[in-house]
């Protein structure tokens, strides 16, 4: 078995909405593999538009070109939104060895 070395951290994103105090948003996991970085946000379920907005909020404020992934326990196909965020079910993420490249 080949094991890749990956470092994983929790990330904070500082947001300064105009006219409001500074806010700190959290990204659940920041994984580094070689020269690649993956931002991973996890949610149990996303049953409403409000929940989707809440879960994507920190990812939307990261201004680099690395992959941003939203994982959910819901069984769903891999989706890419207009902001480049990939949403996929946890089982797909865990069972497909190429899921980071989806």
Instruction: Give the chain's end-to-end CA distance (angstroms, integer).
Output: 23
Q: What is the pLDDT of residue 2?
A: 37
What is the overall mean pLDDT for the chain? 82
Q: What is the pLDDT of residue 1?
A: 37
- Determine the average pLDDT of the residues in 19-34: 80
Entry pTM: 0.79
- Determine the average pLDDT of the residues in 46-55: 89
Q: How many Cα neighbours within 13 Å face the side chain of 68?
A: 19
């Amino acid at each position: 078995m080949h094991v890749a070395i990956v470092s994983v951290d929790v990330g904070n994103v500082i947001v300064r909405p105009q006219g409001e105090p500074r806010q700190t948003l959290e990204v659940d996991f920041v994984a580094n593999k070689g020269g690649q970085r993956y931002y991973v946000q996890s949610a149990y379920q996303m049953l409403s538009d409000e929940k989707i907005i809440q879960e994507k909020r920190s990812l939307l404020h990261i201004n680099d070109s690395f992959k941003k992934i939203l994982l959910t326990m819901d069984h769903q196909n891999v989706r890419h939104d207009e902001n480049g965020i990939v949403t996929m079910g946890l089982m797909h993420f865990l069972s497909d060895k190429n899921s980071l490249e989806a």
